[in-house]
Chain A
């Protein structure tokens, strides 16, 4: 199947480019949120994060 075809529509190069840019932006935003939550978890729990009873 042609890469430019989505749901029976052929995307223009501009539509392809903007869709790729949006996907990269979403990926970057999700990555930033993951890093942020990791940092906040470490900041909240401190050294105790590795000394929890299992």
Chain B
């Protein structure tokens, strides 16, 4: 695991031993994506109608986080050629030459197997199966197939990023309930508007890397229309947790306001079509979409945590 391939990189024997630090392996796990996975899985875990021992809950979240990290490492293993071309990703450990592709593959596979096994032993095998399916879907269906094949890549591939709350729900309750499905649906519907807002600005980089993102293939105007459609669908979907009773009226009001703002930001992107202002509008939507998802899930998690507090306090 500690040897960088000499034939791949043409290095002398002296340089063939890896100089990768633990920090480089941590970067392979995509810590920022992992933190979002932990947060949404935690919300799913709290939304389940079952009491979870804190130790079991914590250990389950660690296993889910490890699964997300494995997905990140395997994604970087396969996409090293794309990462080397794009400015945003060219300093990642593999394109920068700090970790070899083989090492990343071994690291990712080991972590994937361990995470699924641990979640099965710690929580239950339904949650483990969902985690295994998520890793498979993200790597094989999205990374290896859809990402390079269709401009709808992130729509279908978004299912992998949307599954963590359902995994958390399953880890707590042993089933995938309506709440788990709705939390999945919210992230699934949120993903296209979020990624296409970024892709509008980075279209040239995606084109150079040969990734058929919607703005590069169908053009920015078609992308703006699609973003608006998904935002309009997302806004009422965000209200469903209140509608089915897993969140309070306060959540409902928050979801209404945030949903309206999401549509508003998407309308700005739709109408601002030229110059730097168009890029600024797209990046504002990208930033707001992160805030949107964070606030909705934080409100649900906060309400559930508050309900766990002893009444005597």
**Chain A residues within CB distance 8 Å of chain B:** 6, 9-12, 14-15, 18-19, 21-22, 24-25, 36, 39-40, 42-44
B59/A39 in contact, CB under 8 A: yes
The interface residues of chain B lying within 8 Å CB-to-CB of A25 are 22, 25
Cβ contacts B133-162/A at 8 Å (1 or 0 each): 000000000000000000000000000000
In angstroms, Cα B298 to Cα A31, docked, is 32
A36/B56 in contact, CB under 8 A: no
A21/B55 in contact, CB under 8 A: no
Q: Does B7 sit at the interface, judged by CB under 8 A?
A: no
Interface size class of B (residues with CB under 8 A): 10 to 19
A22/B55 in contact, CB under 8 A: no
The interface residues of chain B lying within 8 Å CB-to-CB of A40 are 55-56, 59, 121-122
B22/A9 in contact, CB under 8 A: no
Q: Does B312 sit at the interface, judged by CB under 8 A?
A: no
Instruction: Sort A-B residue pairs by CB-CB distance and give the 9 closest, nearest first.
Output: A25-B22, A43-B55, A18-B19, A15-B17, A43-B53, A40-B59, A39-B55, A21-B21, A18-B21
Q: Does B293 sit at the interface, judged by CB under 8 A?
A: no
A22/B56 in contact, CB under 8 A: no
In angstroms, Cα B16 to Cα A11, docked, is 10
The interface residues of chain A lying within 8 Å CB-to-CB of B245 are none
**Chain B residues within CB distance 8 Å of chain A:** 2, 13-14, 16-22, 25, 53, 55-56, 59, 62, 121-122
The interface residues of chain B lying within 8 Å CB-to-CB of A14 are 19
A19/B2 in contact, CB under 8 A: yes
Q: Which of A6, A39, A40 has the most CB of B within 10 A?
A: A40
In angstroms, Cα B18 to Cα A21, docked, is 12
B16/A36 in contact, CB under 8 A: no
B17/A11 in contact, CB under 8 A: yes
The interface residues of chain B lying within 8 Å CB-to-CB of A12 are 14
The interface residues of chain B lying within 8 Å CB-to-CB of A11 are 17
Q: Which of B2, B22, B62, B122 has the most CB of A within 10 A?
A: B22
- Measured CB to CB, the closest approach of chain B to A2, in angstroms, equals 15
Q: Among B17, B25, B56, B122, point to the contact of A9 (Cβ < 8 A).
A: B17
- Measured CB to CB, the closest approach of chain A to B176, in angstroms, equals 22
- Measured CB to CB, the closest approach of chain A to B59, in angstroms, equals 5
- Assess A21 versus B16: contact at CB under 8 Å? Given A36-B62, A39-B59, A43-B53: no
In angstroms, Cα B55 to Cα A43, docked, is 7
- Assess A44 versus B56: contact at CB under 8 Å? Given A21-B22, A22-B2, A25-B22: yes
- Assess A9 versus B16: contact at CB under 8 Å? Given A21-B21, A40-B122: yes
In angstroms, Cα B21 to Cα A42, docked, is 34
Q: Can you add 12 more A-B contacts, CB < 8 Å, to A18-B18, A21-B22, A44-B53?
A: A9-B14, A15-B18, A15-B19, A18-B20, A19-B2, A19-B18, A22-B21, A22-B25, A24-B22, A39-B59, A40-B55, A42-B55
- Measured CB to CB, the closest approach of chain B to A53, in angstroms, equals 23
The interface residues of chain A lying within 8 Å CB-to-CB of B55 are 39-40, 42-43
